[in-house]
């Protein structure tokens, strides 16, 4: 029974986390398209900060805590598929850290990436999620 509760919690918080990771680059695009120093820009800073603090950060903590408990519970720690999943989860976590850092730069007025680059970065979570689902469902190794 514990397995089903852990699995449910993991899936729920992965959905929250992924939703935030898909949203934040789009926020950045709109933020960068707003005039510097405008009220609109300040609203984007507020939206980005709330998304990170209310959805992204709590979700990543629960995903990791429950995910590791789940892996331990099903004895997946030595499985090849789990190592690949773990690698992609670490990459997503690094991406999460990068977007949080970029939000701080944008809040300071530093607009280092183009809208096109940010739109491309929006594909990162989707690719990682696809790889993770394949590892968990198909368990190719």
* Reported confidence tier of residue 66, pLDDT bands at 50, 70, 90: very high
Averaged pLDDT for residues 72-97: 97
pLDDT for res 95? 98
Tens digits of residue pLDDT in 1-31? 999 999 999 999 999 999 999 999 999 999 9
Cite the annotated binding site for heme by residue number.
10, 85
Cite the annotated binding site by residue number.
10, 85
Percent of the chain having pLDDT more than 70?
100
Whole-prediction pTM: 0.94
| Under 8 Å between Cβ of 18 and 129 | yes
pLDDT for res 74? 94
* Reported confidence tier of residue 59, pLDDT bands at 50, 70, 90: very high
| Under 8 Å between Cβ of 85 and 136 | yes
């Amino acid at each position: 029974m514990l397995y089903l509760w852990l699995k449910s919690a993991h899936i729920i918080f992965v959905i929250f986390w992924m939703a935030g990771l898909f949203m934040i680059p789009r926020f950045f695009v709109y933020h960068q398209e707003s005039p510097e120093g405008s009220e609109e820009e300040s609203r984007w800073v507020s939206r980005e900060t709330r998304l990170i603090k209310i959805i992204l950060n709590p979700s990543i903590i629960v995903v990791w805590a429950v995910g590791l408990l789940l892996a331990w519970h099903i004895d997946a720690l030595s499985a090849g598929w789990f190592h690949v999943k773990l690698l992609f989860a670490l990459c997503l976590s690094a991406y999460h850290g990068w977007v949080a850092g970029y939000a701080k730069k944008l809040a300071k007025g530093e607009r280092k990436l183009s809208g096109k680059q940010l739109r491309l970065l929006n594909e990162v979570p989707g690719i990682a999620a696809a790889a993770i689902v394949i590892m968990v469902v198909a368990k190719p190794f």
